[in-house]
């Protein structure tokens, strides 16, 4: 394992921010793994730390197939993470909306450019990402539909689901999108948590990455074959929204199978405790996403269901 500072940025009042890469093996740029790009992505940081720990052991035992280099960048965002901010500490811009970056541009464009210069040109790019809505997902691999994505490759992670998302204008400046534009096969992996560490889904994510690297001939490793993934287009997910605001009582959780008419959640009057609304499943299927925070507004997306899928 070689540890290398790939980008540094002087701060007026704090220590220099250093983005560190851990490199394993030598040779062609086989795979690059990126952890937290936003300051609240603690689970993403944790997963990368566990991958680095495991790859260090595997490299020592000669398990990295010769002529392959694996790079892991556990954090781009610790300058924000250390002060409890999600976005860039100074101007609240999002580094994951600045790719491919611009080295003569503004600060977060420079950070993105510095990182992208190091992460591009790999065969495979894997990012541990987070979603802007507060809630839990079933662990899955997400890809942008750029015309260059390969769902069959994504299924080799052995996670239960692969989601293909049509990019919106705002997505064109993410790392995942730009990796694909630069001919890297890019995958975003979502586990259950972001702000907190969830050991079970973190272990699942580490196993998925090792499984993928093994199947791509980069690692020699034996692990469970995982799932044969179900591939879903994001627009096929059935969204369920609240019709009132109040206190949210979640009754069904990601991964659960539900039937039409099941009560998924209740919204309570915030002062009187009475049930204002029952959120009823409009379809049968598997819950893919569920809102988590205890309060909800009207018109909030609180569930996404994979229609007509059964356990």
Partner 1 sequence: MIETVSAMELPVEERLRIRKHRVLPLHPTGKEKRICVVTGTHGDELEGQFVCYELLRRLKAQPEYVKGIVDVYPALNPLGIDSISRGVPMFDLDMNRIFPGTEEGPMMETLAKHIVDDMAGADMCVDIHASNIFLMEMPQVRINEETAEKLVPYGKMINVDFVWVHSNATVLESTLAYSLNKIGVPTLVVEMGVGMRITKAYGYQLVAGLLNLMKELGIWEGEVEQVKEPIVSSDRAVGYLNAEKAGIFLPQVEIGDMVEPGDELGQILNPLTGDVEEVIEAPIAGMVFTRREYPVVYSGSLLGRILGGKEDREEERA
- DSSP assignment of 134-170 equals SEEE--EEEEE-SS---HHHHGGG--SEEEEEPPPGG
* Total number of residues that touch partner 1 (CB under 8 A): 39
215 binds partner 1 (CB under 8 A): no
Name the one range near partner 1 by CB under 8 A: 106-114, 117-125, 138-146, 221-229: 106-114
65 versus 301: smaller Cβ distance to partner 1: 301
Q: Among 56, 67, 92, 223, which residue interacts with partner 1 (rule: CB under 8 A)?
A: 92
Footprint (CB under 8 A) of partner 1, residues 32-61: none
Of positions 146, 150, 172, 230, contacts partner 1 by CB under 8 A? 172
244 or 251: CB nearest partner 1 = 244
Q: In which residue are the tokens 């799932």 written?
A: 227
Q: Report, in Å, the least distance between residue 121 CB and partner 1.
A: 23
What backbone phi and psi angles, to 5 degrees, belong to 153? -65, -45
Per CB under 8 A, does 170 bind partner 1? Answer: yes
- Note the helical H segments in the chain: 42-60, 78-81, 107-119, 151-154, 175-181, 199-215
Q: In this structure, are residues 237 and 304 in contact, taking their beta carbons and an 8 Å threshold?
A: yes
Binding-site string for partner 1 from residue 261 to residue 300, where x marks contact by CB under 8 A and - marks none: ---------xx-----------------------xxxxxx
On whether the CB atoms of residues 231 and 114 are closer than 8 A, the answer is: no
- Rule CB under 8 A: is residue 133 a binding residue for partner 1? yes
Nearest to 191 by CA among 110, 126, 96: 126
Q: Return the residue matching tokens 């569930």.
A: 303
State in angstroms the smallest separation of the CB of 310 from partner 1: 25
Give DSSP secondary structure letters for 191-215: -S-SSS--HHHHHHHHHHHHHHHHH
Beta bridge partners of 263: 280
- Sequence-ordered alpha helix ranges (H) in 182-295: 199-215
Which token pair is 92?
């609240």
Residue among 27, 166, 239, 261 that touches partner 1 (CB under 8 A): 239
Does 216 participate in binding partner 1 (rule CB under 8 A)? Answer: no
Residues that bind partner 1 (CB under 8 A): 9-13, 86-87, 90-92, 97, 104-110, 132-133, 168-170, 172-173, 239, 244-247, 270-271, 295-301
């Amino acid at each position: 394992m070689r540890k290398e500072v790939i980008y540094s940025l002087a701060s007026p009042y704090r220590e220099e921010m250093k983005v560190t890469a851990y490199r394993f093996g030598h040779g062609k740029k086989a795979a690059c793994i990126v952890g937290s790009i936003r300051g609240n992505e603690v689970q993403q940081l944790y997963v990368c730390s566990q991958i680095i720990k495991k790859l260090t052991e595997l490299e020592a035992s000669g398990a990295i197939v010769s002529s392959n280099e694996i790079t892991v960048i556990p954090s781009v965002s610790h300058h924000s993470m250390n002060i409890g901010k999600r976005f860039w500490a100074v101007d609240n811009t999002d580094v994951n909306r600045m790719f491919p970056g611009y080295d003569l541009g503004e600060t977060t464009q420079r950070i993105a450019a510095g990182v992208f210069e190091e992460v591009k040109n790999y065969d495979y790019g894997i990012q541990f990402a987070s979603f802007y809505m507060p809630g839990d997902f079933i662990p899955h691999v997400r890809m942008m539909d750029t015309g260059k994505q390969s769902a069959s490759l994504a299924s080799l992670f052995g996670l239960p689901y692969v989601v293909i998302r049509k990019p919106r204008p705002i997505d064109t400046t993410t790392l995942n999108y730009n990796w694909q534009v630069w001919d890297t096969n890019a995958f975003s992996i979502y586990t259950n948590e972001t702000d907190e560490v969830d050991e079970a889904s973190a272990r699942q994510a580490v196993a998925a990455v090792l499984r993928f690297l093994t199947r791509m001939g980069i690692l020699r490793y034996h692990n469970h074959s995982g799932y044969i993934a179900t591939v879903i287009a994001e627009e096929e997910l059935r969204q369920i929204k609240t019709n009132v605001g109040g206190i949210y009582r979640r009754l069904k959780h990601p991964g659960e199978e539900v039937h039409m008419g099941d009560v998924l959640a209740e919204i309570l009057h915030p002062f009187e405790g009475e049930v204002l609304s029952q959120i009823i499943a409009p379809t049968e299927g598997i819950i893919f996403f569920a809102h988590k925070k205890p309060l909800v507004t009207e018109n909030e997306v609180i569930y996404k269901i994979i229609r007509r899928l059964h356990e």
